[in-house]
Amino acid sequence: MSDLGSEDDRSRAVKDTGIGIAEAARSRLFQSFSQGDASTTRKYGGTGLGLAISKQLCEMMGGQLTLSSVLGEGTRVEASLDFPILDPLPMAETPVIEKVVQTQILNILVVDDYQANRLLLSQQLSYLGHRVSDAKDGAHGLLAWRKQHFDVVITDCNMPVMNGYALSKAIREEEQAQSLAPCLLLGFTANAQPEEKERCLQAGMDDCLFKPISLKELGARLESVTSGSELLPIKSEVPAPWDGIDLNSLEQLTLGDRESIKNLLSDLASSNEQDMTRLFELFAKNDLPGLADLAHRVKGGARIVKAHSLIFCCEQLEKVCRELDREGLTQSVDALQKAMERLAETLELHCA
């Protein structure tokens, strides 16, 4: 591909060394549904619309598309367009990230089966000046809680072995049996629905936080607890379907720590790879509850980087599993798989 034009007259030429096109066939190539030879479709596929559409688009933009070819040697197609020269846009100012300072250091236990979630939340709490321990599921979390005193336990709700609801009930029962002062128990979930918060409260939790949470919101939530202020609900947004990830948001979540961001993206990529394998296994078994749990787990990681398309696909699969819609299952699993593959490609670029 070459740039053949001046400042405002841009041309792009593509040349191949293929079979070429006979002179008699060139005149009809820009007609819809036309190809150089009837055997082309059988050998290479295609509809014969590409050149016709490309020529029309070039002409609509005030340009032209030309073709030259030598049979047996190859073909050259050139698009020429005139573009106005625009003044460069000013560079966007880097947002100033304010450090959140806590007035009291807390001993906090983070429980989550998703490594990227544990890493991010632990780093956020460390930035706020708190002491942090973590566990990979409710059973390990309960063992950690028994070994030392924690002011706060923040737990994911859906985990294998022992979920967050069971962990909360177990902690409350042992606190009551041993006459211990109750710790602050917070659910942490990607399911931002009113019924989810109610389920957390019924399990003995004090409140429910929604993934992901900013440093400012997290600091305010913990500060309000230590000062005895009333807990205020955190507003959550329902994301629109969209491809890509938002690293600006991640910088806010990690206070701009580039090494932390790189480690987090690496962990997310690893978890995403494992989850894709798990998705196939569960689909092959027709395990709807397992697929719903996996979709919820993946959604939590997707919220960290605001991968809206992936979040949307997770919610669709959760809905299909919840409604036992076996007809829509294949389509939902396929959509989720493709969204996870796109995330893998995006993360590979950022981790390179």
**pLDDT tens sequence across 73-119:** 889 989 888 777 777 777 665 555 455 555 578 889 999 998 888 88
CATH of span 107-226: 3.40.50.2300
pLDDT at 294: 92
Domain boundaries, the chain: 2-82, 107-226, 247-351
Say which residue, 316 or 24, is predicted with more confidence: 316
In Å, how far are 15, 195, 271, 306, 308 from 237, measured between CA atoms?
48, 16, 25, 11, 11
Say which residue, 352 or 317, is predicted with more confidence: 317
Query: Is 220 a residue whose pLDDT tops 90?
Result: no
**pLDDT tens sequence across 302-317:** 887 888 888 888 988 9
Cβ pair 271, 304 in contact under 8 A: no
Mean pLDDT computed over 112-134: 87
How far is C-alpha 233 from the geometric centre of its chain's CA atoms?
24
pLDDT at 93: 58
pLDDT at 134: 93
Rounded to 5°, the CA angle 214-216-220 comes to 120
Cβ pair 30, 52 in contact under 8 A: yes
Rounded to 5°, the CA angle 118-123-125 comes to 95
The Cα 130–Cα 14 span in angstroms is 59
Q: Which amino acid is at 22?
A: A
The Cα 135–Cα 139 span in angstroms is 8
CATH class of 247-351: mainly alpha
Mean pLDDT computed over 207-211: 87
Mean pLDDT computed over 322-336: 87
Tell me yes or no: is domain 2-82 CATH 3.30.565.10.
yes
If one counts every other C-beta atom within 10 angstroms of the C-beta of residue 299, the result is: 23
pLDDT at 167: 95
pLDDT at 4: 45
Cα of first residue to Cα of last residue in the chain, in angstroms, is 26
Residue carrying structure tokens 């599921």:
137
Is the pTM higher than 0.75? The answer reads no
pLDDT at 197: 85
Task: Tell me: cis bond preceding 88? Omega within 30 of 0 counts.
Answer: no
The Cα 217–Cα 96 span in angstroms is 17
Average pLDDT, the chain: 79
Token pair of 274, please? 């494992």
Rounded to 5°, the CA angle 226-230-235 comes to 105
In Å, how far are 95, 115, 195, 269, 271 from 274, measured between CA atoms?
35, 12, 30, 9, 5
Query: Is 229 a residue whose pLDDT tops 80?
Result: no
pLDDT band at 233 (very low <50, low <70, confident <90, very high): very low
Let me know if the fold of 107-226 is the same as that of 247-351: no
